[in-house]
Amino acid sequence: MPFVARNDRPLGAFGIRRPFLLLAALGLMMFAQSIETLKASPAATRTREFRLANGLQLVVVPDHRAPVVTHFVWYRVGSADEPPGVSGIAHFLEHLMFKATEKIASGDFSKIVSRLGGQDNAFTSHDYTAYFQRISKDRLKTVMAMEADRMVNLKLAEKEVATEREVIIEERRSRTENNPSSILSEQMSAALYQNHPYRIPIIGWMHEMRKLSREDALAFYKRFYAPNNAIVIVTGDVDPDEVKALAEATYGTLKANREIKPRVRPQEPEHRAPRRVELKDPRAGNAALRRFYLAPSYVKADKGDAEALYVLMKIAGSGSTSRLYQSLVAEQKLASSAGGWYSGGGLDSGSIGLYAVAAQGVGLDKVEAAIDRVLHELREKAVTDDELARAKKAYIAEFIYESDSQSALARRYGEGLVLGQTIDEINRWPEAIAKVTAEDVKRVANKYLDIRRSVTGMLIPVPPDGEADAARKPPTGNRS
């Protein structure tokens, strides 16, 4: 194993730390056993990958413990691929995909899956759109045929488009417009990305959503939905060759779209100054502070940087043992909660996030100063051996637990492949995490916790109508 336990505390009276050496040896054994377990797992050893003649990518992960399967279709298109002026069209189309084809009546797709004893759903991100079903193994051919049908044969009636448009508008109203925390996050993302379409919310801007049309949806559909822009993942009680035959009989009959091109998006310029966003809202609870840093995504980061960022933010912000929680909540009593994360699952870039909810009567200036002290210490001093080992073990354990779930495996391979990773790279992620050192963590803290590449947001509760009254009050002093 590449992981070596370290301890920089002074030696004891005899120059030997026997308890520590024993714990270090046990830690090494646990890491080694975990990695070997992963190498021997069905996900790592039995995964099969195929490519159909029309360009569709197929991945099969057998798991024979129960006679069920999980079937995913991933499209290499998300909200960041939308044309200007039609924000939200990727998510809108996700909803409309459950309308009619020539073979299936509008709204019947999910009803059929349910009658077959299965479950289905879909989701949209900045970089991909995915549709899935969990079904009995003997029903797999049926859902594959249904997905293949709506991949190219979607029919949209004007009335259905208008009705579903009201559904997504209400979704934005309930999830964003009525949630000050969501509004702040949306405004911060818009400020963090100066040029990249990640600055636009996945659900879209309200004023553009209201204008989304049937023509917009069909144009987006015909441009991006095709077998050569899709990945099908099947996990469960299946034989890879049998699944390939089913795929050939369903998806394999579809024609490739020769207009599909590699995705090229506007990229970020150099970030030269920090940005700040302040939102006052009477619906807010306690005052809260957040900060986002621009960071590389897992697939675009320099070698070893993304893994080190995951470990850094596990130590800095994950749970009640994290640096931020211990410092701001447990010790200084400045916040009621605090934490952070590294989000590396993007195609073009990722981000680092920090947050703290101020304790009653504590100003956000004190909270921000306390966060900055924690970050300064992470940049100046190496994390401890215990912190490093605990963070790495947590990630490896999560990976092992996920390997026990059909749905988690399907998402793991789907998300990785749609962003450009290989099967081998996905399987070797725990080994890459195990190689992270304390020096790596310190290095990426200095490299990416750069205030010039950040936006800091403040959510400030105000009395009802207080902000409106302040806005109506004329400014004092002379104008220059």
Residues 145-167: tens digit of each pLDDT: 999 999 999 999 999 999 999 99
pLDDT above 60 (res 24):
no
User: What band does 382 get if pLDDT is binned at 50, 70 and 90?
Assistant: very high
pLDDT, residue 321, reads: 96
Averaged over 112-122, what is the pLDDT? Answer: 98
Sequence-ordered alpha helix ranges (H) in 107-239 = 108-115, 140-152, 158-172, 180-192, 206-209, 214-224
Q: Is the pLDDT of residue 139 over 70?
A: yes
Distance of CA 309 to CAs 42, 343, 347, Å? 29, 9, 16
Percent of the chain with pLDDT over 90: 87
Average pLDDT over residues 102-129: 97
The mean-pLDDT minimum among 33-42, 134-143, 405-414 falls in 33-42
Residue 46: predicted pLDDT: 85
Tell me which fold the domain 44-253 belongs to: Cytochrome Bc1 Complex; Chain A, domain 1 (3.30.830)
Q: Do domains 44-253 and 275-467 have the same CATH topology?
A: yes
- The per-residue pLDDT for 9 is 26
Q: What is the pLDDT of residues 63-85, one digit of tens each?
A: 999 999 999 999 999 999 999 99
Average pLDDT over residues 457-480: 61
Tracing tokens 């030997």 back to the chain, one arrives at 16
Does position 383 have pLDDT exceeding 90, yes or no? yes
Active-site residue flag, 94: yes
Is residue 475 predicted with pLDDT exceeding 70?
no
pLDDT, residue 45, reads 60
For residue 199, which amino acid is it? Answer: R
Nearest to 453 by CA among 324, 349, 323: 349
Question: Where exactly are the structural domains of the chain?
Answer: 44-253, 275-467
Report the SS3 class of residue 423.
Answer: helix
Q: Output the CA torsion sign for 7, 8, 13, 15.
A: positive
Condensed to tens digits (0 to 9), the pLDDT of residues 217-244 reads 999 999 999 999 999 999 999 999 999 9
- Give every strand in the sheet of 48-51, ordered side by side: 48-51, 57-62, 230-236, 68-75, 129-136, 119-124
Q: What is the CATH number of domain 275-467?
A: 3.30.830.10
CA distance 454 to 456: 7
Of all residues in the chain, the percent with pLDDT exceeding 70 is 88
Sheet holding 335-343, edge to edge: 275-281, 454-461, 288-295, 350-358, 335-343
Please give the Cα distance from 202 to 89 (Å, whole number).
9
d(Cα 424, Cα 49) in Å, to the nearest integer? 11
27, pLDDT greater than 80:
no
Query: Helical H runs in 46-137?
Result: 89-96, 108-115
Grouping H, G, I as helix, E, B as strand and the rest as coil, residue 232 is: strand
pTM of this prediction? 0.88
How far, in whole angstroms, is CA 162 from its chain's centroid? 30
Rounded to the nearest integer, the mean pLDDT of the chain is 90
94, 147, 164, 307: the active-site residue: 94
* DSSP H helix total and E strand total for the chain: 19, 11
pLDDT given at position 58: 98
Helix axes 385-402, 18-40, angle to 10 degrees: 20
Query: 38: pLDDT confidence band, cut at 50, 70 and 90?
Result: low
259-294 pLDDT, tens digit per residue, is 999 999 999 999 999 999 999 999 999 999 999 999
